[in-house]
Amino acid sequence: MSEKILEYYFGMTPEQTIQDGSTVRYMVDNSLYTIIQVTHLEQEALIELYEMSEHMAKYGDNKVSTFVPALNEKFLVTHENQDYVLMHNYVFPPSRNKNSGIKLAKFHERGKLIQAPISGANRVGQWKTYWVKRLEQIENVWSGVVQERTGEEFEKLFIRSFPYYLGLCENAIQYVTDTELDEELTFSDMGTIGHQRFRENLWNNEMEIRNPFDWVFDHPSRDISEWIRDCYFRNKRSFQPELTQFLRGYESVSPLSSFSWRLIYARLLFPLHYFSCIEDYYLTSSQWTQKQLEERLSRYLRDAQEYERFLGSFYQLAGVGHGHFPVIDWLIPS
């Protein structure tokens, strides 16, 4: 069907089909084209993504996907009651610079310059609100599971572990509150174009495509902390060299303020990995996926003390002055 959409609405005949993970891309005249279904998105949200995409391309990011107008010069096409947009990417050889920290900092520096108003995708200063809402939703699920108690292994793990992660979440919310009270904002704390959940493999494939549908507008620390979380859970035993290289790379382009460091720490305190695991379990109907998530949850609980140690010594591991940054007193020091 995608090829039909490409030909009928955009007048293009693909020369080659490329499978990029779960995404299908089409090669036309040495450019890549990707059809994205956007039926679930409001028009205002699409306009913001368009504005961000145009801005990043204009300011020299040649890996960014840009919106392509159809033959009728509109960006949105409707086919069989579904809405679609077409995204364009130039084809480049893989980047010689493998340091994700440097690349992310340059991306953020460009993103800070956007002039278009971003409201729907704006998450600046809203972490606590989102976290409280998410916590309440999972607490409601937990209460229901406690009452019903089906005896499923996942539910036993969830019942036992939730009060602990509730406490960690409350610590994260309080840490953001204290940071906002204690620290002055600097130029480096300007909102920027960032990602819903940044991680190493988002950019490190051969194409390095930067997809606006991954983006939000937020404080730069969001991407940094989510990259660190991903780095830690990918390689708990030997993440330190990769962490050091990433942070040094980032700061060589854009030094981090005290406010930024404390927001990074607050976001690592917030147990997003745990919450995502619980949410994904109750959203899937696949027994195989549920089994995978049960194993993942079991690992998180088994290694919780290790993560405490990581949090307790984070500033030291990151190579920043441990002295004037508060840490949570119950976390196990390294």
pLDDT digits (tens, 9 = 90+) for 113-124: 999 999 999 999
Dihedral pair phi/psi, residue 196, rounded to 5°: -60, -45
Amino acid 96: pLDDT: 74
Amino acid 244: pLDDT: 95
The whole-angstrom separation of Cα 240 and Cα 245 is: 9
Question: 81: helix, coil or strand?
Answer: coil
First to last CA, the chain: 55
Question: 190: helix, coil or strand?
Answer: coil
Those residues of the chain that have pLDDT short of 50 are 334
Amino acid 149: pLDDT: 78
Query: Tens digits of per-residue pLDDT, 25-36?
Result: 999 988 999 999
Amino acid 4: pLDDT: 86
Amino acid 334: pLDDT: 47
The whole-angstrom separation of Cα 224 and Cα 28 is: 35
Amino acid 207: pLDDT: 76
Dihedral pair phi/psi, residue 123, rounded to 5°: -115, 5
Amino acid 170: pLDDT: 95
Domains in the chain with CATH codes: 2-92 (3.30.200.20), 127-318 (3.90.1200.10)
pTM for the whole structure: 0.94
In the chain, the amino acid numbered 216 is: V
